Amino acid sequence: MTDTIARIKYRPATELVYVDNSDGKGPKDNYNAASMPIYQTATFKQSSSTQMGEYDYSRSGNPTRSHVENHLAKIMSAKRSFVVNSGMTALDVITRLVKAGEEVIAGNDLYGGTNRLLSFLATHNNVKTHHIDTTDSETIIPYLSEKTRLVLLETPTNPLMRIADIPRISEIVHERCPNALVVVDNTMMSPYLQRPLELGADIVYHSGTKYLSGHHDLMAGVVAVKEDSIAEKIYFTINATGVGLSPFDCWLLMRGVKTLAVRMDRQQANAIQIADFLQSHKFKVHYPGLKTHPQYELHAKMSNGPGAVLSFETGNVELSEKLVELTRLWGISVSFGCVNSLISMPCRMSHASIPAEVRAARAMPEDLIRLCVGIEDVDDLLEDLYHALTASGALKLAN
């Protein structure tokens, strides 16, 4: 008889770094390497022609992939997690759960790529999506029916930083549509700041390219679930389509996850100062870390911080364009979550695939500027931003 030692659950920053395979769930390394080896192989030799070992072909499974998947499941409070080759692949895998004739309910402030995929499903797969204001939980009720299969949430939303009440929406959906699944894109927060599976969601996904990696040298996606039955369906699709993350990219992702806490703490601290600075100069700032945010208290209840992405309005599209191009430290780029600070105009870049009339109907300001705050010295970031604001004339207009 062997004694079973209950696993100690540490605080989030510790869990990100601490890897423990003593429970027998993770792949074994005979040499106890401090960093999981990269099993850069397509196939695994077998000792029998009739009985396969744990791994046979890397499309179906790989020890390096299993290692990072087990670790992510732990930090995301999931029964199982899966890593694939991009965040959009993660969403695509999830939408394979939806059959023709079924429906999706999603927010009206969504990442452009998400909107693109949902539009494709409508035109090619007969899957209709209802776009609603997810900041008001009750607005979902009229759209729930026996056809509802997924309720897709972003919170905070990208780029207007609106907040959805995950516990309340999950309660409504599970009560009225037992077969529907609540899916949350948690990329903006990361598992360090928010864990939707603990709040009532059924599936959570991330673009691992963002905070989980942290250096923009990797494309990856993560899907985490809390039920075995859903996990089996997700795995089937990943294995059948061959979208599992490669061994080397799994190793890069694992390395990035271990530094998530120190990066996010610094980025978030910088973002709070920058949001305060912009608001002090009378700009309209969208950031859940400001007490003036209409859902400040709701976000604080669900998360451990406001994150490091914010957006603001100048009131003039041309001024916004000038401002963006006058920055030096802020790289003009789509995406977010890396150690370097980035600046963009969503309506011209990450959300350009959404038709202008749809953006207008969803009240997305064309002059909106999104800041993705990095780990640089905050005074340098503020000075660079102040220079761009004054040189472009945006600061004078705001005041």
Would residue 99 show up in a list of annotated catalytic residues for this protein? no
**Phi/psi at 39 (nearest 5 deg)?**
-85, 80
Contacts of 249 (CB under 8 A, 6+ apart): 85, 218, 219, 220
Nearest to 335 by CA among 246, 223, 207: 207
The verdict on whether omega for the bond into residue 159 sits within 30 degrees of 0, i.e. cis, is yes
Alpha helices in the chain (DSSP H): 12-17, 63-75, 87-95, 112-124, 166-176, 190-193, 228-241, 247-258, 260-280, 296-302, 317-326, 356-361, 378-392, 394-398
> Catalytic residue among 80, 149, 210, 370, which?
210
Q: Are 86 and 249 in contact (CB under 8 A)?
A: no
CA atoms of 241 and 256, how far apart (whole Å): 26
Q: Which of 55, 74, 92, 111 is catalytic?
A: 111
Among the listed residues 20, 29, 57, 59, the single catalytic one is 59
210: annotated active-site residue: yes
Query: How far apart, in whole angstroms, are the C-alpha atoms of residue 246 and residue 239?
Result: 13
Among 92, 109, 165, 185, the active-site one is 185
- Joined together, the tokens standing for residue 359 give 């953006």
**DSSP helix, strand, coil percent of the chain (3-state; round to 5):** 40, 15, 45
Please say if 377 is a catalytic residue: no
Please confirm, yes or no, whether 92 is among the known catalytic residues.
no
Active site residues: 59, 111, 185, 210
